[in-house]
C-alpha cells in the first residue's frame, strides 16, 4: 500500500456507504490493494496533458427509426 493508505481507507468507507456496498472485514485488504492499483492507474492517465478540445472516444449517435437497417 502506498503513502495514500489513510486516504484510501477513508475513501473506501465513504464511497461504499454512499453506494450502499457492503465490505466484509475479510475482503477489505484485497479491495484496498485493488483501489490503490486502480487509483495509481487513474492518476497516471490524469497527469497526461490534453487540450480542452480533445473529444472523448465514445461518440453519441442519435437513434432514429429511419436509421434502422
Partner 1 sequence: MTAPAKSDRRREGPAEQAVAAALARIRSIDGRVGAFTDVTAERALATALALDDGAVSGPLAGVAFGVKNLFDVAGLATRAGSKINRELAPAGRDAALVTRMEAAGAVLLGALNMGEYAYDFTGENVHDGPSRNPRDLTRMSGGSSGGSGAAVAAGLVDVALASDTNGSIRVPSALCGCFGLKPTYGRLTRARTFPFVQSLDHLGPIARSTRLLALAYDAMQGPDRDDPATTTRAPEPAAPSLDDGAGGLRIATLGGHFARGGEPDCFEAVARAAAFLGADRVVELPEAARARAAAYVITATEGAALHLDRLRARPDDFDPAVRDRMIAGATIPAPYVAKAQRFRRWFAEAAAHVFDEVDVLLAPATPCRAPRLGQTTFTLDGVTLPVRPNLGVFTQPISFIGLPVACAPVFLDDGLPLGVQIIAAPWREADALRVARALETAGVAQFREAKL
17 contacts: CB under 8 Å, gap ≥ 6: none
Answer for which of 3, 25, 50, 64 binds partner 1 (CB under 8 A) is 50
Near partner 1 by CB under 8 A: residue from 2, 7, 10, 43: 43
Kindly state the smallest distance separating residue 8's Cβ from partner 1, in Å.
9
Angle at the Cα of 32 from the Cα atoms of 26 and 37, rounded to 5 degrees = 140
**Integer CA distances (angstroms), 3 to 14, 25, 29, in order:** 19, 21, 15
User: Interface residues with partner 1 (CB under 8 A)?
Assistant: 11-12, 15-16, 19-24, 27, 30-32, 34-35, 37-46, 48, 50, 54-58, 61, 63, 68-69
Amino acid at each position: 500500500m502506498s503513502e495514500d493508505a489513510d486516504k484510501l481507507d477513508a475513501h473506501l468507507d465513504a464511497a461504499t456507504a454512499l453506494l450502499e456496498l457492503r465490505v466484509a472485514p475479510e475482503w477489505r485488504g484485497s479491495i484496498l490493494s485493488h483501489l490503490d492499483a486502480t487509483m495509481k492507474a487513474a492518476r497516471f492517465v490524469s497527469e497526461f496533458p490534453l487540450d480542452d478540445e480533445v473529444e472523448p472516444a465514445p461518440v453519441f449517435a442519435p437513434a432514429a427509426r429511419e436509421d434502422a437497417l
